Amino acid sequence: MKLSDGVEWALHCTALLAVIPAGMVLAGKALAEYHGVSESYLIKHLQALTAANILVSVPGPKGGYRLARPAAEITMLEVVDAIEGRDPAFRCSEIRQRGPAGLDPAVYRLPCAINATMLRAEMAWRRSLSGQTIADLVAGLGKRVDQRAVDKTLAWFQEHLRG
């Protein structure tokens, strides 16, 4: 399974927004600059996160984005679903019923073993992501981020936070 770049971008943006002071926002342009990504493409993902009640979009010249809820209440799965949708990653088209060995559809009452296996695997990764919040993600990142990057981020915040 391959998730789009938008999932990575959305998770990074939500993690960054999780650490800004209460009442402050970051503009979409600033988020794109910070992550070195396309502003127009990122804005589409920020809008999807807003529609999913993960972010709040504050309008106006001092506007921008912030989390709609505490980071501890937003799961990584919610972010993935907001960007990718909820359709299953694997779609069984029942090819076992086609070709020279295919039989009458009534013979195939039980689900395809391949489909069942793929659905179990998807449920496992969805369960894992639903058990991880953005707050958990931030805590994990905090243990791995070089202090120089933290210092640069804090200096960058001084120029870009709005509120």
Mean pLDDT of the chain: 94
Give me the pLDDT at residue 107, please.
86
Query: Class of the 5-86+133-160 domain?
Result: mainly alpha
The tens digit of pLDDT for each residue in 23-63 reads 999 999 999 999 999 999 999 999 999 999 999 999 998 99
The tens digit of pLDDT for each residue in 112-134 reads 899 999 999 999 999 999 999 99
Tokens 């789009």, residue located: 4
Query: What secondary structure does DSSP assign to 96-162, as a single string?
Result: GGSSTT---GGG--SPPHHHHHHHHHHHHHHHHHHT-BHHHHHHHHHHHS-HHHHHHHHHHHHHH-B
User: Mean pLDDT across the stretch 1-14?
Assistant: 93
